[in-house]
Structure 1
Amino acid sequence: MKKLLNLSFMILISVFANAQTGSIKGLINAKNGGFLSYANISISNTNHKTLSNASGEYNIDGIKPGEYTVVVKFIGYKTAKKQITVSANTTTKVPTFILTENQETLEEVVLDGHKKNSYAAKKPSESLRLKTPLIKIPQNIQIVNKELISDQATFTMMDGITRNVSGAQMIEHWGSFARINMRGFRIAPMRNGMNLTTSWGPLAEDMSIVERVEFVKGPAAYMLASGEPGGFFNVVTKKPSNHRVAEVNVSAGSFNTFRGAVDYGNTLLDGKLQYRVNFMKSTQGSHRDFEKTDRTSFAPALKYLFTENTSLSAEYIYQKVKMPYGGAYVFGPASAGFASLDRDFTALEEDFEETDMKEKNLYANFTHKFNKNWEIQAQYSRLDYEQEGMSPWAVWGSVQENGDITRYVSSADAIIEIDATQLFVNGSFNTGNISHKILAGVDYNSKDSWHDWSQSAVIDQTPFNIYNPVYGNAVFPDFDRSKSVKDRSGLVKYETLTKGYYLQDEIGFFKDRLRLSLAGRYTDANITRDATEEKAALFTPRVGLSFDILSDFTVYGLYDQAFKPQTGASKTNEVFDPEIATDIEGGLKKTWFNGKLNTSVTLFQITKDNILVTDPEDANFSVQIGQVQSKGLEFDLQGQITPELNMVLNYANTNVEVTKDSDPTLVGTKVAGHSKHITNGWLNYHFNAASKLKGFGLSLGYQYLVDRSSWAWATDGQDPILPDYFRLDGGVSWKNDKIGVRLNVNNILNKYLYSGAGYGDYLYWQTEPGTNARLTVSYKF
Structure 2
Amino acid sequence: MKITTQFIGLFFLLFFACFNSGHAQDGRQTVITGHVKTSNGLPAGHVSVSVAGARIGTQTDDDGYYRFELNQIGSLTLEVSALGMGKQSRDIVVQAANHYVHDFIINITSEQLEEVLISKDRGNYNMLTPSPTLRLDEPLLEIPQNIQIVSNKTLADQQVISMSDGLIRNVSGAVRLEHWGNLYTNISMRGTQIQAFRNGFNVVASYWGPLTEDMSFVDHIEFIKGPAGFMLANGEPSGSYNVVTKKPTGETRGEATLTIGEYDLYRAAMDLDGRIGKSGKLLYRFNASAQTKGSHRPNEFDNRYVAAPVISYQVDDKTKITAEYTLQYANMSDVGSYYVFGPTPGGYASLPRNFSMVPAGLEPTNITDQTFLVNLTHDIDTNWRITAQGYYLLYDQVGSSLWPENEMTNDGKIIRGVDIWDAFSEMSLGQVFANGKLTTGKVSHRILVGIDVGKKNYMADWAQSHALDTANGGEFDVYNPNLGVPANGYPVFDRTTSLEARAVLAGGTMTQQYKGIYIQDELGFWDNRIRLTLAGRYTSVSQSAWGTAPDKASHFTPRVGLSWSVDKHTAVYALYDQAFVPQSGRIFGQGKVKPITGNNQELGVKRDWAEGAWNTSLSVYRILRENELTPDPNRPPAEGYSIVLGQKVARGIEVDVHGRLAPGLDLVANYAYTNAEVTQVAEGVVDYAVGDDLFGYAANTANAWLTYRIQRGVLKNVGAAAGFTRLWDRKTDNWDESDVRLPDYFKLDAGLFWENDQLRITANMFNVLDEYLYTGSYYSWNNAFYWQSETPRNLRLSIGYKF
Q: Does 1:326 align with 2:349?
A: no
* Paired position in structure 2 for 1:356: 366
Q: Does 1:220 align with 2:228?
A: yes
Q: Does 1:628 align with 2:648?
A: yes
2:590 & 2:669 partners in 1: Cα distance?
A: 51
Q: Are the equivalent residues in 2 in contact too, given 1:107–1:122 (CA < 8 A)? A: no
* Paired position in structure 2 for 1:187: 194
1:342 & 1:733 partners in 2: Cα distance?
A: 33
* Paired position in structure 2 for 1:762: 784
The alpha-carbon deviation at position 314 of structure 1 amounts to: 0.5
Aligned residues: 701
1:281 & 1:619 partners in 2: Cα distance?
A: 57
Q: 2:158 aligns with which of 152, 158, 162?
A: 152
For each residue in 1:226-266, what CA deviation from the matched residue of structure 2 results, as whole angstroms up to 9, or x when unmatched? 01011100000000111123000000000011000000010
Q: 1:645 aligns with which of 651, 658, 665?
A: 665
Q: Are the equivalent residues in 2 in contact too, given 1:141–1:216 (CA < 8 A)? A: yes
1:685 & 1:37 partners in 2: Cα distance?
A: 32
Q: Does 1:593 align with 2:610?
A: yes
- Percent sequence identity is 40
Query: In structure 2, do the counterparts of structure 1 residues 702 and 570 end up closer, same or farther at CA, with 3 Å as the change threshold?
Result: same
The alpha-carbon deviation at position 591 of structure 1 amounts to: 0.8
Choose 1 or 2 for highest CA Rg: 1
1:124-163 superposed matches below 5 A: 124-163=130-169
Query: In structure 2, do the counterparts of structure 1 residues 661 and 126 end up closer, same or farther at CA, with 3 Å as the change threshold?
Result: same
1:716-735 superposed matches below 5 A: 721-735=741-755
The alpha-carbon deviation at position 99 of structure 1 amounts to: 3.3
* Paired position in structure 2 for 1:89: none
2:660 & 2:377 partners in 1: Cα distance?
A: 33
Which amino acid in the other structure matches residue 349 of structure 1?
P
Query: In structure 2, do the counterparts of structure 1 residues 293 and 477 end up closer, same or farther at CA, with 3 Å as the change threshold?
Result: same
Q: Are the equivalent residues in 1 in contact too, given 2:122–2:659 (CA < 8 A)? A: no
Q: Are the equivalent residues in 2 in contact too, given 1:166–1:679 (CA < 8 A)? A: yes
1:284 & 1:670 partners in 2: Cα distance?
A: 38
Which amino acid in the other structure matches residue 380 of structure 1?
G
Q: Does 1:780 align with 2:787?
A: no
For each residue in 1:41-99, what CA deviation from the matched residue of structure 2 results, as whole angstroms up to 9, or x when unmatched? 9xxxxxxxxxxxxxxxxxxxxxxxxxxxxxx999x9999899xxxxxxxxxxxx99613
Q: Does 1:342 align with 2:348?
A: no
1:367-382 superposed matches below 5 A: 367-382=377-392
Pick which of 473-482 and 451-460 moved more. Answer: 473-482
Q: Does 1:681 align with 2:698?
A: no
Q: Are the equivalent residues in 2 in contact too, given 1:196–1:202 (CA < 8 A)? A: yes
Q: Are the equivalent residues in 2 in contact too, given 1:322–1:357 (CA < 8 A)? A: yes
Query: In structure 2, do the counterparts of structure 1 residues 650 and 102 end up closer, same or farther at CA, with 3 Å as the change threshold?
Result: farther
Which amino acid in the other structure matches residue 365 of structure 1?
N
1:221-260 superposed matches below 5 A: 221-260=229-268
Which amino acid in the other structure matches residue 523 of structure 1?
T
Q: Does 1:660 align with 2:676?
A: no
Which amino acid in the other structure matches residue 700 of structure 1?
A
Query: In structure 2, do the counterparts of structure 1 residues 738 and 531 end up closer, same or farther at CA, with 3 Å as the change threshold?
Result: same
Which amino acid in the other structure matches residue 695 of structure 1?
N
For each residue in 1:435-491, what CA deviation from the matched residue of structure 2 results, as whole angstroms up to 9, or x when unmatched? 000000000011101010011111102100001112224112210111331132523
1:199-210 superposed matches below 5 A: 199-210=207-218
Provide the secondary structure at the position in 2 that maps to 1:99.
Answer: coil
1:678-757 superposed matches below 5 A: 678-688=701-711, 690-712=712-734, 715=737, 721-757=741-777
For each residue in 1:693-735, what CA deviation from the matched residue of structure 2 results, as whole angstroms up to 9, or x when unmatched? 111110000000011133438736xx67100000000110001
Which amino acid in the other structure matches residue 660 of structure 1?
Q
Pick which of 653-662 and 505-514 moved more. Answer: 653-662
For each residue in 1:24-49, what CA deviation from the matched residue of structure 2 results, as whole angstroms up to 9, or x when unmatched? xxxxxx99xxx9667369xxxxxxxx
* Paired position in structure 2 for 1:482: 496
The alpha-carbon deviation at position 108 of structure 1 amounts to: 11
Q: Are the equivalent residues in 2 in contact too, given 1:172–1:756 (CA < 8 A)? A: yes
1:101 & 1:679 partners in 2: Cα distance?
A: 38
Q: Are the equivalent residues in 2 in contact too, given 1:687–1:697 (CA < 8 A)? A: yes
Query: In structure 2, do the counterparts of structure 1 residues 619 and 107 end up closer, same or farther at CA, with 3 Å as the change threshold?
Result: farther
TM-score, reference length from structure 1: 0.86
The alpha-carbon deviation at position 354 of structure 1 amounts to: 0.8
1:400 & 1:260 partners in 2: Cα distance?
A: 45
2:414 & 2:39 partners in 1: Cα distance?
A: 65
Query: In structure 2, do the counterparts of structure 1 residues 614 and 149 end up closer, same or farther at CA, with 3 Å as the change threshold?
Result: same
For each residue in 1:611-642, what CA deviation from the matched residue of structure 2 results, as whole angstroms up to 9, or x when unmatched? 11221212523101421100000000010100
* Paired position in structure 2 for 1:555: 572
Q: Are the equivalent residues in 2 in contact too, given 1:713–1:721 (CA < 8 A)? A: no
Provide the secondary structure at the position in 1 that maps to 2:141.
Answer: helix
Query: In structure 2, do the counterparts of structure 1 residues 439 and 315 end up closer, same or farther at CA, with 3 Å as the change threshold?
Result: same
Query: In structure 2, do the counterparts of structure 1 residues 177 and 109 end up closer, same or farther at CA, with 3 Å as the change threshold?
Result: farther
Pick which of 195-204 and 219-228 moved more. Answer: 195-204
The alpha-carbon deviation at position 643 of structure 1 amounts to: 1.5
Q: Does 1:499 align with 2:511?
A: no
1:56-455 superposed matches below 5 A: 98-99=107-108, 118-175=124-181, 176-198=183-205, 199-269=207-277, 270-324=279-333, 325-397=335-407, 399-455=408-464
Q: 2:42 aligns with which of 39, 42, 63?
A: 39
Query: In structure 2, do the counterparts of structure 1 residues 744 and 81 end up closer, same or farther at CA, with 3 Å as the change threshold?
Result: same
Q: Does 1:456 align with 2:462?
A: no
Tell me, which stretches of 5 or more residues in structure 1 are unaligned? 1-29, 42-71, 83-94
Provide the secondary structure at the position in 1 that maps to 2:550.
Answer: strand
Q: 2:535 aligns with which of 519, 525, 530?
A: 519
The alpha-carbon deviation at position 432 of structure 1 amounts to: 1.1
Query: In structure 2, do the counterparts of structure 1 residues 114 and 276 end up closer, same or farther at CA, with 3 Å as the change threshold?
Result: farther
The alpha-carbon deviation at position 115 of structure 1 amounts to: 9.3
Q: 1:540 aligns with which of 539, 542, 557?
A: 557
Q: Does 1:510 align with 2:510?
A: no
Q: Are the equivalent residues in 2 in contact too, given 1:639–1:648 (CA < 8 A)? A: yes
Q: Are the equivalent residues in 2 in contact too, given 1:314–1:365 (CA < 8 A)? A: yes
Tell me, which stretches of 5 or more residues in structure 2 are unaligned? 1-35, 45-79, 91-103
The alpha-carbon deviation at position 660 of structure 1 amounts to: 1.9
Query: In structure 2, do the counterparts of structure 1 residues 73 and 375 end up closer, same or farther at CA, with 3 Å as the change threshold?
Result: farther
The alpha-carbon deviation at position 377 of structure 1 amounts to: 0.3
Q: Does 1:605 align with 2:627?
A: no
* Paired position in structure 2 for 1:22: none
For each residue in 1:198-248, what CA deviation from the matched residue of structure 2 results, as whole angstroms up to 9, or x when unmatched? 221111110110000000000001111101011100000000111123000
Query: In structure 2, do the counterparts of structure 1 residues 506 and 116 end up closer, same or farther at CA, with 3 Å as the change threshold?
Result: closer
Pick which of 737-746 and 466-475 moved more. Answer: 466-475
The alpha-carbon deviation at position 532 of structure 1 amounts to: 2.0
Which amino acid in the other structure matches residue 394 of structure 2?
D
Q: 2:635 aligns with which of 605, 608, 618?
A: 618
Query: In structure 2, do the counterparts of structure 1 residues 341 and 37 end up closer, same or farther at CA, with 3 Å as the change threshold?
Result: farther
Q: Are the equivalent residues in 2 in contact too, given 1:181–1:673 (CA < 8 A)? A: yes
Q: Are the equivalent residues in 2 in contact too, given 1:266–1:275 (CA < 8 A)? A: yes
Q: Are the equivalent residues in 1 in contact too, given 2:199–2:243 (CA < 8 A)? A: yes
Which amino acid in the other structure matches residue 480 of structure 1?
D
The alpha-carbon deviation at position 396 of structure 1 amounts to: 3.1
1:701 & 1:633 partners in 2: Cα distance?
A: 22
Provide the secondary structure at the position in 2 that maps to 1:235.
Answer: strand
1:738 & 1:108 partners in 2: Cα distance?
A: 16
Which amino acid in the other structure matches residue 792 of structure 2?
G
